């Protein structure tokens, strides 16, 4: 199944409009503590045992630092667990820092 992606501009529009979606951050706890977009932290290594926390009935956006880990998580969840409501945040929180909010630290 193809991986669906969205960019930080679309995410910002969704946040501003109050669209109902679920944001999962698959970075490590120290990265999340440093800066985050108010998503739910489920580190990549914990995804297999925390699958029940990922909704199937609404749009789920998965994000990480640059979009690589989140892309792998989306691919695995689609292939191994038949999720069809997942989107990878292209460019991750790094793109958010550059394009949307310079107050979110770059690391």
Q: Is the model's pLDDT at 24 over the cut of 90?
A: yes
Please enumerate in sequence order all residues whose Cβ is within 8 A of that of 99, keeping only pairs 6 or more positions apart, or say none: 8, 9, 91
CA angle 61, 62, 64 (to 5 degrees): 140
Residue 107: inside a domain: no
Residue 92: inside a domain: yes
Residue 13: inside a domain: yes
Please enumerate in sequence order all residues whose Cβ is within 8 A of that of 16, keeping only pairs 6 or more positions apart, or say none: none
* CA 43 to chain CA mean position, Å: 11
Residue 79: inside a domain: yes
Residue 106: inside a domain: no
Say how many domains are in the chain: 1
Residue 12: inside a domain: yes
What is the Cα–Cα distance from 23 to 71, expressed in whole angstroms?
A: 14
Residue 97 tokens read as 């820092």
Instruction: Supply the pLDDT for residue 1.
Output: 82
Kindly report, residue by residue over 73-92, the tens digit of the pLDDT. 999 999 999 999 999 999 99
Percent of the chain with pLDDT over 90: 99
Residue 72: inside a domain: yes
* CATH code for the domain of 34: 3.40.250.10
């Amino acid at each position: 199944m193809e991986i669906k992606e969205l960019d930080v501009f679309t995410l910002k529009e969704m946040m501003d409009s109050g669209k109902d979606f679920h944001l999962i951050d698959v970075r490590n706890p120290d990265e999340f503590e440093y800066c985050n977009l108010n998503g739910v932290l489920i580190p990549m290594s914990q995804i297999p045992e925390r699958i029940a926390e990922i909704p199937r009935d609404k749009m789920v956006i998965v994000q990480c630092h640059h979009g690589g880990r989140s892309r792998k998580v989306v691919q695995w969840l689609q292939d191994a667990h038949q999720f069809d409501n997942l989107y990878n945040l292209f460019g991750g929180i790094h793109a958010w820092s550059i394009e949307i909010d310079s107050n979110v630290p770059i690391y």
